[in-house]
Amino acid sequence: MGKIRLIVLDILKPHQPSILELASQLSDLKGVDGVDITVYEIDSKVENVKATIKGAHIEYPKVRKVVDQMGGTIHSIDKVACGHEIVKEVDTHQDNH
């Protein structure tokens, strides 16, 4: 199986722990080089965040475990890149319509 190099997750999480704590915990995982988390929706009890994780060998089950332990739920995997290098998405004719 190819190594996961990049993964983008849509996560529903409580306000606490903060995105600072979630990003820190995720970045401490072996094989993770960096984490970016953006809040895109907030309500009275929860917030929706987009988490972008990049690394040499991301182990998704360990990522999921950290999110679960911090009270979050992964709604969807919105993007993934695997292999020896990250391939950039390119526009096609269909994207321009």
CATH number at residue 40: 3.30.70.1340
In a domain? residue 97: no
In a domain? residue 74: yes
Distances (CA, A) of 50 to 31, 83, 91: 20, 23, 22
Q: What is the DSSP letter of 48?
A: E
Tell me which residue has tokens 């390119």.
90
Residue 21 and residue 2: Cα distance in Å, rounded?
29
Q: 47 is written with which tokens? A: 């917030």
In a domain? residue 31: yes
pLDDT at 85 over 90: no
In a domain? residue 75: yes
Based on the structure, what is the number of domains in the chain?
1
In a domain? residue 94: no
Is residue 17 reached through a cis peptide bond, with omega within 30 degrees of 0 on the bond before it?
yes
Query: Looking at residue 86, what is its pLDDT?
Result: 83
Residue 23 and residue 3: Cα distance in Å, rounded?
21
Which domain does 82 fall in, by range? 4-87
Beta bridge partners of 9: 51, 77
pLDDT digit string, tens, across residues 24-73: 999 999 999 999 999 999 999 999 999 999 999 999 999 999 999 999 99
In a domain? residue 37: yes
Mean pLDDT of 9-26: 97
The predicted model scores a pTM of 0.90
